[in-house]
Structure 1
């Protein structure tokens, strides 16, 4: 009986495809490794496989770095092909890489399709997971949105920030990390130490807010914190904040943007990665020269409006009420370095634009009376109408001019001299300890002295007061009704002699009347 023939020898090629890393992030390089191992009992000449990378390269770029330990490898039109011999027990290794786009633009799944030759585990239609055609890995993608609860803020107010981090990809994002840069905020505000997160861990240090955590696909984490603006604000009057999400696969890859130059928009690295909040208002100061005015001085007022921030203020306005100045002084002239200034007694009104990092000066002059006819104090009130300032209505800031500035009498006025005084005239003041005869003491002025009484006519002559040496005489004493003015201070009328005509006529009539009588007496005698 013939011996049975030996069974025909057969080659068997086992294919295994792996990726490193297995779960990649946008921006990362993925290295694919395909191993061909002949587990049969015969050589396998002219073996090959094709890996269709169309489902990978919609989200990645081929790195053109394919290599093989034997055989020939090539790449054409999104297909990688290898061909060669695989001996019994031999393992051939083929490697090639792709770099995932950041952000990916396809279906966010890396789905290749490897088909091996006959006699392998990856023939067409194979469901062997070793071929890498099933459960294509997805890609994580973080969308970061940073917002503030307001666009402008006044000194002393609170700005609340919210950073929302959502995984809009098709795979979990392990070890996500965000950094919030607060240095552009803390020159104007104080961090309130209130950062909270709905997931992961949040911390603060060295003007930076840090958060780390894992975000599954389709999930969202919210981080909140706040800052209180300084009063007064001594910074650049702009709260510039930014967030950076490290590790790739985000719309805020960083680094966090720095502050913008004046007049430029806030730099951003992606939508929602930065926020700018403008601190409303300008700084107003008011000075006068001389600082201690005297009666008769011309006083120059200078109002300085400073905008130290990076936000321009079109249509700004301020007013200065001079009611408390004009009771003692006369308004002179006014000018401004920019804008338009007008004066309608008693209010000075300035309007104009205040560019970023600029200063506007308004100068006006008044001349103090000599002596001042009012309360001998200059008191004006500067009010910043728009934008917000330290001189808002009702402000007690001394730079706004609400405190009175006293007027000192001039040395000439204090000594009794004045513009109408003759040089060398007597200047002896009246001592306060000695009353002036015939004059009632004068009470100090009051805010409401009441009606002035009507004068009373003098019906009797006042006695002449005894004036001492060096004393000035009082006002003339009024004349009594129907009487001559012979009181003190009024000289007596001079004697000019008897009237000659009436006297001679009287003597003539007297003689005519006496003549008949004399004749009659002589006849009878």
Structure 2
């Protein structure tokens, strides 16, 4: 800093120093000043010196150099002074050091304490009015407010410096850090017993040279393995000590800092929905979080069923990424469906961290099985048959709402099987139901009746199963020679090319008003009037066996059977409605997906028997009602050969007019692709509207409606 100026300027080689200038050596630099008469002063790092007097006396030619040293270390190499009036002095906050042609060391601490040493020649130090002459190879200390000490051996007080470095800036738990220590004798006297104590690595002692000479530097090293208990910023301090010839111990310390990275990753995985069926789609959500103290790069997330989910760049500390993926359940998958995701990434040192997370989805495979037995193989009219129904669960989930209905015996009564009392048909349980039926004169032999068991899983899907039993009817009486039933149309062995046909015939007993028609094991009552019967019936593709039987007042039963070949296409949906009370009128209503009952377009019924639900000018994708039977026992048939619309079709039954005959029992049979899949039976009150069944298309699954 130039005299009269408060701003520091950077000195260069050859910069002229003038009276009043102040020189300062930076923390990482040193400077040498050569005076006009050849003497030099060397400023070590951190030293500040002001030139207070500089020149040559005009009258005597004496040289005068006076300096003020505020702090730091200097080495003065002074040419032999020209005469007794020549001066080379350094003033410090506590003393004045003078030299006459020698090498002098001056050290000033922050508190002003001063040490002056004489390497060779003549040096003196003055403080508090007392001057001490220093022989060569001695020094003196001056504390603030004190006189100089007596000369001591050495050219300055003992001092040590230490620097400490680590071989890395970042490390992980388990890594080994190598520390290097550089110990320098910065004082004015040799030191022995050099040792280093590190608060992490322990003690290190030099086993080579016995003495650390002035200005000499020794190198030490030690290692430390990072432990889990270490902080994220690992700072450890080394303390070096040495002893001078007079037994004075001096120390210095240095620290080094290493960042300990702890890579951490958290992965969560969830599945939606938690319960699925085969062919359903599961959506998985993955959340990857960096819960460590260092960023992670090269992030990848994979799944052992879906493979790679995603990858990306850098996942910062505390940051979370969310990814999704889907999986379609197949029949080959086991339940529960468990799959594991893996997330991985690399920390700043290239170490890979990975975590796993799993999710479980229950695959519902509901199923129900039914067996049915009768307590007799042969019965007579008036006998009571007891049927036993055993319902089991061959699926993999419990079923609720278990019901068993019989097309002849009606509702059944639960007997036993719910071992845990939870009201659910568990896997492995077998529930037993019973029902009774009294044989009547109108029954034809054998009595074949169909039972349907139903139940639903936790998501509401309904499963059904059917079982039949056959019981023969025996009688001591034989039909009288004059009592016969004859089918006049169709002819036995005939080929039919329509689904709906008229079955006609004769009963030669005018007192008979009711007969039973049985087509392929499915039977219902028909009216007989004046010895004749005529009924519109639906048949299935392939062979059809048609039996009409009747019983007279003498309880004699007669029957006639024909077999026909029906050559028609298979129908997707076929519905048959019959009821058990004559002179009443029931109507079937089939409602398209999303439609409403009674709607002029959406509802196929007696007012709208053939609506156009499909492609224009194509007939086989439209429903068709064959007849509106208003005073008989049915049947009414609705057929839909090739359903065009997908979704849920609703089937309603309306008790249109009882003609003052009261309630009647409706029986509904549903075929899917000409296979009988469901039978529903309900006693209905006049003008009651019954939501009988729901038909899902294209799966063909039939489930009870809200009114069943």
How would you bin the TM-score normalised by the shorter chain? 0.3 to 0.5
Q: TM-score, normalised by structure 1?
A: 0.40
Give TM-score, length-normalised by structure 2. 0.31
Q: Which has the higher contact order (CA 8 A, sep 6+)?
A: 1
Structure in which a larger fraction of residues adopt strand? 2
Higher helix share: 1
